[in-house]
Structure 1
């Protein structure tokens, strides 16, 4: 057919016996069986109750890419420099689509938007205990510590991006363990404990949260909780309800700020991946043109 005639020929690049040809077209991997095989590999090797590609450890990603290249071969030499980057984006996109589909199906089947009603309607490709854990996580808002880790750890690892981030997280954990006995419910965020761990804000910022956070309220809450009133009858002493209102406002501001940071981080990751693929595509084109010039051959023009 006309479409098949535009497919890359096997002679354009190396191909081992038993491997099927694949190529990059418009920033994605073709033909469709190659993309479906990526999805199958991701489904079969989900490392735990995770719903995003960024949570796959790098060794698992390396393994899956190796398994893919044992089945499929990129037959065009110009695709090789960007093959891994496009493969990563394909895996990320396919997993996101899969997770959206299973959540949407469970919601429509149960007629309920509460993820806890979905526990008996998980996909066949995901372990039940993983699905149950995901339902529990979707049913509640993420904790501040979870969002902090998500925005301050290197992708695919358990390492913090800086020593300061690691120290603050560990100090906060110790402070919370000291303040709340084992088995005692803990708040999503203890603003006082966070200020103690993060230290005095610099340039109007509390470490771990953006510029939009009203640092004055955090300090007010912190000071109110540790400073004894000079005179019990003084009208300047903040009423208990007022302090609690301030703390409530702090929690709401931090929750909104962290949600914004999470969205911005995800957007930046997509943009960076896209830029990386575009740069690799430009580099690949430059290499092809250079090789053609060195060989005295004009670059091959795409068929009309």
Structure 2
């Protein structure tokens, strides 16, 4: 349930004077606007949603606040804007964190690769000033200093050694894209598993990889019968038993966006909305679906704290749910 916004239509109190609740709400609205530079133009003006300007004219923030107090919000303002509930905010935050957990390191890796090429050097110390155009120079240079630190270098070397020592059946050939995001049906999962665990020659990367998928098919047939219509898209319990987990509790072959169903049964703690006693828990199915929808945009974006205004506009639809307001649905 979204927060109560009834104050927007109650500008005056019973005496005919400006309501204190309305004034407080307008101040909070303006504070939100000032925290979102993507809705402010180069002259420091924003669209004014008062009944006079009707969200068509722009003005300085000070005058927009005065307009709202003098004239109130335009009719239908709430219908054109969506105000996220605390459930939506928590959902958006979870999706953002998990998506960026998957993608941010890959983004930085590609940025370093381009920087090495532009600087015509293989030394990290030489790539200062060669960061992505979407990233502030001081932020990029700060990252370079971080990469030059001995702790980061040691961690990087350790990661390379760990990957080199990883059993062949636990590696796949699909790059950074999650197995869970590629496959939606049982047939697709089988095909994707084969694609990402086979070499170009058509052979599995290891005998164990072949044994896992064969054993899974056998266990599923015994449990549900030979008819594919009676078999589920994926049985997490059977797969976990057959494939096993690593030290971090991740299930081999399912991908991070699927194995959360198995390892994370905790309800997400959500703050309560005003006047609401209970909050709907975030389901894992909702999280997985939301991640699928958010991933295409996230893989081409940076964290909001390190991107310029041009890139920030692409992130507003996702970040707005975390902050509490969103852009107009209709323009």
Shorter-chain TM-score tier: under 0.3
Of structures 1 and 2, the one with the larger relative CO (CA 8 A, separation 6+) is: 2
TM-score by length of 2: 0.24
More helix by share: 1
